[in-house]
Structure 1
Amino acid sequence: MGGLDEDFIQAPEHRPNTKLTNSGDFIFSDEIPTIDLSSDRDKTTIATEIAEACERWGFFQVINHGLPSDLRRRVEKTAADFFILTAEEKRRVKRDEVNPMGYHDEEHTKNVRDWKEIFDFFLQDPTIVPATPEPEDTELRELTNQWPQNPSHFREVCQEYAREVEKLAFKLLELISISLGLSGDRLKDYFKEQTSFLRFNHYPPCPNPELALGVGRHKDGGALTVLAQDSVGGLQVSHRSDGQWISVKPIPDALIINIGNCMQVWTNDKYWSAEHRVVVNTSKERFSIPFFFFPSHKANIKPLEELIREENPPCYKSYNWGKFFVSRNRSDFKKLEVENIQIDHFKA
């Protein structure tokens, strides 16, 4: 990643308005809500705050969330220790079109290469997904994680962190259900055989941050994302009302939550899956760890019946999550002739 070839260069209209200095400092905003998940707070009160955040932003930060801070430090160090390995060693667990889990340094978003390297692993190992995105193909395949030999504790720490962040994801799912006026367990069955996965992101310093992005503008496909980011910053969110890009301020020990496409569809556009991106800088590397909370491959995603009204008919047709997942995954792997599938393709 020492240079910047044309694969990384964003179209002029999508290049970041880099309010950056050579030291890598960002101008942050306090607009993204911060929600206290303390156990002594009333669930209904928390749910009300979540509802407002999901409608207006599709993003919020959480504090007092229960994820052990010492575990977070350990997993962050483990990720950093992996990324400083030689390219040859990292590529021993490199993903491909057959196995989408493992190391990758050529991911494309919106058909432009991202300025980053990643490591992905499934929460459930193995995970079952459709063999192809073709609707008529009923074949399934079993995907397994690839684990590097170094660091020696890598797999153990990853799996411990995954178990803890999954607990938080289910807690948030319950609160979101309550915020919609539904029972707390309304959405739980969608995740009985979940396809969720975790990612380690490493964004090296970039010689031309005004031309490239760590991750191009996109919406997350699943139900919700739980993100741990370091103190460097770089995550930007597009405001629902005017599309203005807002830089999310890092808060020590907080986690960033965002609503994905599945939640936007389930809520019939009441809650917003916000477009977001990552900007990079010339001098500071950045690390982040997102957990993508994804339903079972069997799940058919459509607006929830309880939220449909005569004055608010379904905005989306039903689609199968597994087929959607496989299609998106393939288009993230390499540049394709057409842009990958979006939920807009299922507009009613």
Structure 2
Amino acid sequence: MLAAASSCHSVLPTMRRMMSAPGVWPVSQASRAALRKSRTFATISEDAFRIPIIDFSKYRDAATAAEKERTAEEVVRGFTDVGFVYLSNHGIPQETVQQAFQKSAEFFKLPIEKKSELAWRDPRANRGFVQVGRERVTQSADADEIKQLREKAPDYKESMEIGRDWDTTYKNYWPREEDAPGFRRAMLGFFQTCHELHVSVMRAIALGLRLDEAFFDDKINEQYHNLRLLSYPPIKTQLLHGEGQARAGAHSDYGTLTLLFQDSVGGLEVQNPHTGQFQPATPIPGTIVINAGDLLARWSNDVLRSTLHRVVAPPAKAISDTEGITPARQSIAFFCNPNQGAEISCLPTCLTGNGQAKYPPVTTEEYIVGRLKATYV
């Protein structure tokens, strides 16, 4: 945590000794008891704000319970301090990721007429194609304010939103097979693969928060997730010079976790809450960037951090003395959510020192649909 979560100071020396260990918290019974009693997390300095790289094979393939617990605590520490981690050795084959990127690129190369047939229509469904300028991500929840932001500085990106395919109420919008061969099959497989990683990371978080490892299993099993394919077209730099303009504005995500697969172009930046400055989350081959979302922050009473982030344009290539053009960028985000009707209320191990929860209970659907209604035209 970047700020202490309790007024109790009696265990601070213990916490400082814990924080001196490189990369993990000790797992002694005394340390656990101290944390459970006080809910105190030591601070980190401004210049120590770095996204940690976590080798998740040490959790997946742990030979002992202690080894698994150490990695789980490392995962929680990353979300506590920064809100973001790089996950290496995560178990998703690189060939699977490459295929998803290839099929995504093929989809966005379709004529706009064919993509527009699949247009996003309903925040409750949150499915379909979103053309450049239709979305304006922001922290605001005011529809009029977002409308003004969208008109002045729309997000320069297009996306394709895919949900669970067996939903009896809301259906995915798929391109015809002859237009995008293999697209549907590849994306459904990738959706399932990402869900399985989500379950594993949530089990690690549960263990790191001193809950039963399977605590979240029956709260995320409905796969109420959103697979978002993203394409950032090349754009002249003059179009990015307007006030508040970015390829995707500063925002936090809505759900539990976001799994972000980046290409090599870059552009993702994460805000340092100490300074307000945005720092690059440079692509690291073989890793997935994972960040905590708003509902996980609420669930954990802000013990886990939902950090602001944005996408900015990478360096442009000059095309004249006064103009440049940015390269195209691709990314794939898998927005992990709790079950549609799950009640998000403070976890028992995350209450403050006086036993208080910072937020009233809310269901997943109430929170996410409310945010989506204000975000899109």
| Bucket of the pairwise TM-score, normalised by the shorter protein | 0.7 to 0.9
1:289 pairs with 2:332: yes
State the 1:206 CA deviation.
2.4
Q: 2:344 aligns with which of 277, 283, 301?
A: 301
Gaps of 5+ in 1: 1-28, 128-141, 335-348
CA deviation string 1:277-323 (max 9, x = no partner): 10124321111101111112211111112322443521111112212
SS at match of 1:242: coil
State the 1:124 CA deviation.
4.4
Equivalent in the alignment of 2:126: 100
1:198–1:291: 8 Å Cα contact kept in structure 2? yes
Query: Which deviates further from its counterpart, 93-102 or 266-275?
Result: 93-102
1:257 pairs with 2:314: no
CA deviation string 1:52-87 (max 9, x = no partner): 211111001111100011111111000001111111
Letter in 1 for 2:53: T
2:50–2:82: 8 Å Cα contact kept in structure 1? no
Letter in 1 for 2:338: P
1:187 pairs with 2:216: yes
Residues in 2 aligned to 1:331 and 1:30: alpha-carbon distance in whole angstroms = 32
Letter in 2 for 1:318: P
1:205–1:280: 8 Å Cα contact kept in structure 2? no
Residues in 2 aligned to 1:243 and 1:312: alpha-carbon distance in whole angstroms = 30
Equivalent in the alignment of 1:133: none
RCO greater where, 1 or 2, for CA within 8 Å and sep 6 or more? 1
Quick one: percent identity of the two aligned structures? 30
Instruction: Note the 1:167-182 alignment, pairs <5 A.
Output: 167-182=196-211
Residues in 1 aligned to 2:357 and 2:326: alpha-carbon distance in whole angstroms = 48
Letter in 1 for 2:223: Q
1:259–1:272: 8 Å Cα contact kept in structure 2? yes
Letter in 2 for 1:64: N
State the 1:108 CA deviation.
1.7
Residues in 2 aligned to 1:307 and 1:284: alpha-carbon distance in whole angstroms = 44
SS at match of 2:229: strand
1:325 pairs with 2:368: yes
Equivalent in the alignment of 1:35: 54
Equivalent in the alignment of 1:344: none
SS at match of 2:371: helix
2:256–2:338: 8 Å Cα contact kept in structure 1? yes
1:47–1:175: 8 Å Cα contact kept in structure 2? yes
Query: Which deviates further from its counterpart, 94-103 or 197-206?
Result: 94-103
Q: 2:96 aligns with which of 58, 64, 71?
A: 71
Across the aligned residues of Structure 1 and Structure 2, the Cα RMSD in angstroms comes to: 1.8
SS at match of 1:119: strand
SS at match of 1:243: coil
SS at match of 2:279: strand
CA deviation string 1:65-124 (max 9, x = no partner): 000111111110000011111111111111113753111111122323211000010034
The structure that has the greater radius of gyration is 2
Residues in 1 aligned to 2:61 and 2:366: alpha-carbon distance in whole angstroms = 41
Letter in 2 for 1:109: V
Equivalent in the alignment of 2:160: 119
Residues in 1 aligned to 2:90 and 2:258: alpha-carbon distance in whole angstroms = 14
State the 1:30 CA deviation.
9.4
1:109 pairs with 2:101: no
SS at match of 2:310: strand
1:148 pairs with 2:175: yes
Residues in 2 aligned to 1:56 and 1:243: alpha-carbon distance in whole angstroms = 15
- Residues 1:35 and 1:74: Cα distance change in structure 2 (over 3 Å): same
